[in-house]
Amino acid sequence: MTSLLRKYACLARLHGWRADCIMLLAGSLYALGFPPVHAVVVLPVAFCLLALAINNATGWREAARRGFMFAMGLYSVGLYWLMYAILLRADDFWWLVPLASPGCALILAPLSALAAGMTRLVPRGTGRLMVLAALWTLTDMARVYVFSGFPWNPPGSVWTFPGFAGDVMIQPAAWIGVDGLTLLTCVLSLAPLYGRTGRLACLGIGLVWIASGTLRLTCLHDTYRHNPEVVLVQGNVPEKEKMAGTSDVAIFRRYLGLTRQGVAQGLAQAGGRPVVFAWPESAFPGLLMEDDIARPMIMQAGKGAMAGVIGTVRWLENDHHWRNSMAALVPPDGMPAAVYDKAHLVPFGEYQPAFLPFHVVPGEGMTPGPAVRTWHLPDVAPVGPLICYEVIFSGQVVDPYDRPAWLLNSTNDAWYGNSAGPRQHLAAVRLRAVEEGLPVARAANTGISAVFDGRGHELARLGWGRQGVLVHSMPDALPQTAFGRFGRWIPLFLALAVGLAGGWSGCARVKDS
């Protein structure tokens, strides 16, 4: 064992291209902690190697290079599934297939380089490790400002593994958000490098984490008084079929048939509560708002439901822009009671970043809506609509002036195949439920459709690649969480406090010596 540890430490003393390769491998190893693998045991191995490499760097520039290469490995492996979207247009962009995830990594890695470089400015010791954890968290939080924001796979999401254990570990997100979990993850991942006191402190943090999570999970109970019975329609339409546009009528008929089946089941088990059915993002094969024939047909298929939420695209004549939207139709004739336009668009998928020298987004791309909002539909508890990608934005999924009673996420993950991408997306949905204390229903085209309560506990799911309906009662909202009230200010304050404490400790240690 001692020999193995010596070899491990020697890896951190390498320089030049050898060190770059080791950091790439360490970052790639770290990526295995994310869903669906959840190999959290690799986090200390990889992150401690980065910390040791920063210690052995000749200066802050070399330390920044270590952080950059670590992040290149992390994002290149963690986002490998982006290539599936490129493969759908391989005739035009075949050369982009191997560059999809490394290209995103190249843009995100400078943030990690900044964290590693600044860490090297702090004297060696426990204080430097605390600063690394804090800066890694702060730069990870800063990813909301890259493009229109790309906060995919925050390190705190590694704890979303299935079952009771995962439920316990994500409960502190109700107080400190996923960014707070990221900070705790970074601090605990460095535990092998602390002294005896530091390791005992980490043990105490871990025990408090587990105890508080268990307490919240067991003390809060679901009630079913106010929210509706939801019918989530999963059409399982391959993206190539949607893009071809030759099966629009068949797709529409498929959704109508599934809606009839699901609403009938929902009415049978609703117990007098209203029934709401939902189709996934862009499920309607056309312009729903202009189609006066299709809307009544949809509500006829969902006869008995109080509302039907349909994913569609919109063309606005007044500004000549496309929008990715959700429309809430109400009986009897399917008149739109509310419309929501997606506020956070997917870079390279829905809009074209200005710096890109070639055009990858079909047409002119989409235009974002103004902000998240709450719908107040007739005889239905207030609902917060969210379209696909925007559910990954911690602290930005609820109207702060009009808290809904539940959230409805409509998505189409068919772009990314049966890969880690849809599972990572689902983990983000689960974390938003905990952060806001709100139940979430997720309607996904090819899966995974699911229902979570306000503790992030999964109540039901319809797996990947299956055609069908998922019918379940939505539990009531939990009391507003601390994170729901104060948002990302809480993890920001915690990260700054840890960083300042680490910096002060490091400087004080130098003065004493």
Contacts of residue 327, Cβ cutoff 8 Å, sequence gap at least 6: 288, 289, 309, 310, 312, 336, 338, 339, 340
User: Do 418 and 464 form a contact (C-beta atoms < 8 A)?
Assistant: yes
**Centroid of chain to Cα 274:** 29
Confidence of residue 369 (pLDDT cuts 50, 70, 90): confident
The pLDDT value given to residue 413 = 87
The pLDDT value given to residue 1 = 42
Confidence of residue 146 (pLDDT cuts 50, 70, 90): confident
Tokens, residue 225? 């008084």
Q: In this structure, which CATH number among 3.40.50.11290, 3.40.50.800, 3.60.110.10, 3.40.50.1100 belongs to the domain 229-477? A: 3.60.110.10
Q: CATH 3.60.110.10 spans which residues of the chain? A: 229-477
Of the chain, the percentage scoring pLDDT greater than 90 comes to 73
Strands 229-234 and 275-278, how do they pair? Answer: parallel
The CA-atom distances, in angstroms, between 173 and each of 144, 276, 406 are 18, 29, 18
**Centroid of chain to Cα 422:** 10
Any idea what DSSP says for residue 391?
G
Confidence of residue 362 (pLDDT cuts 50, 70, 90): low
Cite the active site residues.
Answer: 281, 342, 388
pTM flag (> 0.85): yes
Confidence of residue 250 (pLDDT cuts 50, 70, 90): very high
The stretch 452-461 carries a mean pLDDT of 97
The stretch 151-172 carries a mean pLDDT of 95
Tokens, residue 448? 């995974």
